[in-house]
Structure 1
Amino acid sequence: MNEENTPNETVQKEDKKRNILLKILSFVFLIAGGIWILSLFFDFKSYESTNNAQVESYINNIAARATGHIIDIKFEANQAIKKGDTLILLDDEEYRIKVKQAEADLASAEGNLHSLQQATVTSQSNQAATKAKLAGDMASLEKAEKDYERFRNMYADSAVTKNQYDQVVAKLKSTRAYLQAGQSELQASGSIAKQSQTNLEAAIATVARKQADLEAVKLQLSYTVITSPINGFVGERTLSVGDLVNTNQVVASIVMNQKIWVTANFKETQIERIKKGQKVTIIVDALNDKKFKGVVANSSPATGAKFSMVEPDNSTGNFVKVTQRIPVKIEFEASPEDLIEVKPGMNVTVEVKK
């Protein structure tokens, strides 16, 4: 009898254990379900997160400022470069010829300027001499007029002969004629001096213009050497030696390696709990979820859709409310050396502590 009861007791114990386990599991699932339902109405998380985020960086598109054929390319794709490094050399023969022409034009203008400077000095000297001669003629006229008055009175008193009187009158007339001629000569020399000064000023302006022309063609010549304006990594190389490059054509793109950040697109319902200065955890997908520290720098003044080239329109009248995204800029707290593996364009997940 005892032997028959032993298996039944064992079965009853196992059933009891199974029932207890099922009750525990049911209780756990009930609690988990309750927590899930409550999470739909209440936010228990200590952070706001989004995986709609990417690493950003400034990309400098280097454009040619002169037209010419490429004679040498000094970089390869993905190469690290420094500010001032030569990227591309263009054929500069045409620009060198223009420089020589501009130098010749400047030399000719400077020669003309020197000639006009001498002419101006000569005209001013002639004008000064004419003034001095006119002053002498005026003194002679004054003396002749005094002699005439004296001899006229003497002639009236028969103190001098008529021949002597006629000589004084003739002297007065000739002195007046010399004075008039001197005045005309002074006026003419003044006009010549004024014209010389005008020509000189025009020649000075011409020299200045020729100097500017020379500097302009020298500047164009310098554009045949295309250099990097920043430190960074050059992108794809799409040009070859012999290709014709036109002005404003992009010849290379350089990614700055000193400044990267994250643009995280949070839902508009999250943005109220995201403030400037909050700490951020940045998880990089491509680096086995490697984590970096960051901080919220600022947020966009409008949604991403407002900055798109073609803003979504609802002209049909069928309105569906879609949660908008607002870009938030997040800066890394790590040094550039620690961010070598982080590349612009990588997808990341960000968690902003509340």
Structure 2
Amino acid sequence: MTEIDKHSLKKKNTIVLLALGVVVVCVGIYIWWTKIGRFYETTEDAYVSGNIVNVMSQVSGMVTDIMADNTSLVGESDVLVKINPVDAQLALLEAEANFASTIRSVRNSFASLEEQKANVDLAKVSLDKAEADYKRRVNLKKNNLISNEDLSHYESTLTSAKASYNLALKSYDTNKTKVDNTTILTHPDVLKAQSALKAAWLTLNRTTILSPASGYIAQRSVQVGQHVSAGSALMSVIPLKNVWVTANFKETQLGNIRAGQEATLNSDVYGSSVTYHGKVKGIEPGTGSAFSLLPASNATGNWIKIVQRVPVRIVLDPVELREHPLRPGLSMSVNVDTHNAGAPVLTSLAKSQTPWRTNVFDHRDDDVNVIIQKIIKESM
């Protein structure tokens, strides 16, 4: 075989190999697209989301202490900020004095009622005597045994006794309505003063601001010496243990995405060396533009169709999240396995959701009840 023949054979073999390679690649692409690739939806438009718990002041006052700064790790119920308590302490002392004064005043009302009842009884005795004296004088007058002047005198006495009795009875009824069907401790005035005392005690306790959740401090804006008002945002607490991923899929990708599907994720922070595993928790009930501050107005002549994106929430494996923490706002790459696309599109509305709750604001009133019982004992 000549060199020309060898070169021609080698060239033919190369062409055949290239053709076979192209066929193999095309077959691979076809199999991937029809058998495997169509069961996966991928997006780069995904970001870490999390709860941002705002710490706010419930009372007004001057800030005296700040116990945590940005990036500090705090636990639930840890002290974050203290507000000058002097004004609240004075208000509490005033409420205690008012409560004691109210108890004594109501006690006096009950005692006065007994006194007025005695006055009514005394006026009734006087009235009965005046009526009896007048009746006897009327009989004597019939027999001309007394003069008209004497009869007129006893008639005036009877009229005066009736007026005194009616006055005492009305005074008794007036004061009786103020304490009727109550005791000293169940009297409305006493209950109102007691409520004001509890409110003053609660205000004093709220001068110490506690963390409503465990997490890391961010966005601290409060400064020592600053006067804050009730409702002012002081800082934020971010619980990094409970973050999730919000993946914004195109509306053309949502057809086979269902709650419960498996997903793999990669973060730009750790790169491809760390892969997270998660599950689709649900699909938001609207596109991003539907919830924007200024929704798009499509009823115009200049309408241009734009593919919308719908947020899909993906929860992460807590073990992987603990080993490689993520922070809200970080970019993620998401790949969802859509093999079980036969499941319902909407998750069941009856599915229970574990409620979020904090016990920080459940102020136990044992301490204020001790104060109340002490004042009652001293005032009764």
TM-score normalized with structure 2 length: 0.74
Following TM superposition, by how much is the alpha carbon of 1:113 offset from its aligned partner in structure 2, in angstroms?
A: 3.0
Match of 1:274 in 2: 257
SS in 2 for 1:114: helix
* Equivalent residue number for residue 329 of structure 1: 313
Which residues of 2 match residues 290-329 of structure 1 at below 5 A? 290-314=274-298, 317-329=301-313
Deviates more, 1:259-268 or 1:231-240: 231-240
Aligned-partner Cα distance in 2 for 1:257–1:21: 57
Partner of 1:227: 210
Q: Secondary structure at the match of 1:233?
A: strand
Distance 1:208 1:100, change over 3 A: same
Q: Distance in 1 between matches of 2:66 and 2:12?
A: 79
Quick one: structure 1 residues 336 and 252, their matched pair in 2 at CA, closer, same or farther if it must change by over 3 Å? farther
Determine the structure 1 residue equivalent to 2:88.
Answer: 95
Structure possessing the higher radius of gyration over alpha carbons:
1
Q: How many Å separate the matches in 2 of 1:336 and 1:171?
A: 112
Deviation per CA, 1:204-248, whole angstroms, max 9, x where unpaired? 544444433333333322221111111222224333322232322
Post-superposition shift, 1:139? Answer: 5.5
Contact 1:292 1:334 in 2 (8 A): no
The alignment covers a number of residue pairs equal to 332
Structure 2, unaligned stretches of length 5 or more?
339-380
The answer to whether the Cα contact below 8 Å between 2:276 and 2:320 also exists between their aligned partners in 1 is: no
Per-residue CA deviation, residues 45-82 of structure 1 (Å, 9 max, x unaligned), is: 32122121122211111111222222111113212212
Secondary structure of the structure 1 residue equivalent to 2:243: strand
What value does the CA root-mean-square deviation take over the aligned residues? 3.5
Aligned equivalent of 2:164: 185
Deviation digits for residues 78-112 of structure 1 (CA, Å, limit 9, x no counterpart): 12212111100111222222323333334444443
Deviation at 1:294, TM superposition (A): 1.9
5+ long unaligned stretches in structure 1: 156-164
Amino acid at match of 2:280: V
Name the structure 2 match of 1:240: 223
- Mean CA deviation greater in 42-51 or 91-100: 42-51
What is the rounded CA distance, in whole Å, between the counterparts of 1:15 and 1:211 in structure 2? Answer: 108
Displacement of 1:125 after TM fit?
Answer: 1.6
Tell me which of 41, 45, 58 is aligned to 2:38. 45
- In the other structure, the counterpart of 1:166 is 145
Q: How does 1:132-147 map to 2 (within 5 A)?
A: 132-138=125-131, 144=136
User: Deviation of residue 306 (structure 1)?
Assistant: 0.5
How many Å separate the matches in 1 of 2:301 and 2:249? 27
Alignment of 1:22-37 (within 5 A): 22-29=15-22, 32=25
* Match of residue 79 from structure 1: 72
Aligned partners of 2:324 and 2:158: how far apart in 1?
94
Q: In the aligned structure 2, how far is the partner of 1:236 from the partner of 1:301?
A: 30
Quick one: structure 1 residues 298 and 233, their matched pair in 2 at CA, closer, same or farther if it must change by over 3 Å? same
Distance across 2 between alignment mates of 1:114 and 1:316: 76
Alpha-carbon distance in structure 1 between the residues aligned to 2:165 and 2:234 = 67
